Structure 1
Amino acid sequence: MKKAFKLFQKAASLENNAAQVYLTNMYINGEGTDKYYDKAFELSKKLAKKELLCGINLLGHCHDNGIGTDTNIQKAIELYQKTANLGSCLAQHNLAHIYKNGEGVEMDYYKAFELFKKSAEKEYSGGITMLGYCYNNGIGTDVNK
Structure 2
Amino acid sequence: MSDERISYSALKGMSADELRARLSAEPGRSAALVRAAAHNGIKSAQVVFGQMLLDGTGVARDAEAACRWFVIAADAGSLDGVNMVGRCHEKGWGVPCDLAEAERRYRAAAGDGHAWAQFNLASLLVNADDFAADPARALHWFVRAARQGNPKAMAMIGRFLEQGWGRPADPVAARRWYRRAALGGDYRGQFDYARTRYEDGAAEEARVWFARSIEAGVPDFCRLAAEGLSASGDPALQAIADRASERVRQADAAQAEAERRAAQEMAAARAAARSSRPRRGFGRWLRMR
TM-score normalised by the chain length of structure 2: 0.47
Amino acid at match of 1:118: R
Question: In the alignment, what sits opposite 1:12?
Answer: 38
Higher relative contact order (CA 8 A, sep 6+): 1
Residues 74 and 82 in structure 2, CA contact (< 8 A), matched pair in contact too: yes
Question: In the alignment, what sits opposite 1:109?
Answer: 135
Runs of 4 or more, structure 1, over 6 Å off, are: none
Amino acid at match of 1:22: V
Which of the two has higher C-alpha Rg? 2
Question: In the alignment, what sits opposite 2:109?
Answer: 83
Offset, 1:139: 2.7
For residue 133 of structure 1, give the secondary structure of its aligned residue in structure 2. Answer: helix
Rate the CA distance shift 1:3–1:96 in 2: closer, same or farther, 3 A. same
Offset, 1:95: 0.7
Matches within 5 A, 1:16-55: 16-55=42-81
- Which residue among 152, 155, 159 is the counterpart of 1:129? 155
Residues 44 and 78 in structure 2, CA contact (< 8 A), matched pair in contact too: no
Residues 119 and 141 in structure 2, CA contact (< 8 A), matched pair in contact too: yes
Paired with 2:30 and 2:168, the residues of 1 have a C-alpha distance of 46
The two structures, once aligned, show a CA RMSD in angstroms of 1.5
Offset, 1:120: 0.3
For residue 60 of structure 1, give the secondary structure of its aligned residue in structure 2. Answer: helix
Paired with 2:168 and 2:60, the residues of 1 have a C-alpha distance of 45
Paired with 2:115 and 2:32, the residues of 1 have a C-alpha distance of 29
Amino acid at match of 1:18: S
TM-score normalised by the chain length of structure 1: 0.91
Matches within 5 A, 1:90-105: 90-102=116-128
Question: In the alignment, what sits opposite 2:212?
Answer: none
Which piece of structure 1 moves more, 2-11 or 54-63?
Answer: 2-11
Rate the CA distance shift 1:30–1:140 in 2: closer, same or farther, 3 A. farther
Deviations 1:41-62 (A, max 9, x none): 1111111111221111111111
For residue 166 of structure 2, give the secondary structure of its aligned residue in structure 1. Answer: coil
For residue 70 of structure 1, give the secondary structure of its aligned residue in structure 2. Answer: coil
Paired with 1:112 and 1:53, the residues of 2 have a C-alpha distance of 20
Offset, 1:136: 2.1
For residue 110 of structure 2, give the secondary structure of its aligned residue in structure 1. Answer: helix
Rate the CA distance shift 1:4–1:125 in 2: closer, same or farther, 3 A. farther
Identical-residue share of aligned pairs (%): 26
Matches within 5 A, 1:58-73: 58-73=84-99
Rate the CA distance shift 1:44–1:137 in 2: closer, same or farther, 3 A. same
Offset, 1:119: 0.4
Residues 117 and 131 in structure 1, CA contact (< 8 A), matched pair in contact too: yes
User: Would you say how many aligned residue pairs link Structure 1 and Structure 2?
Assistant: 143
Rate the CA distance shift 1:4–1:139 in 2: closer, same or farther, 3 A. farther
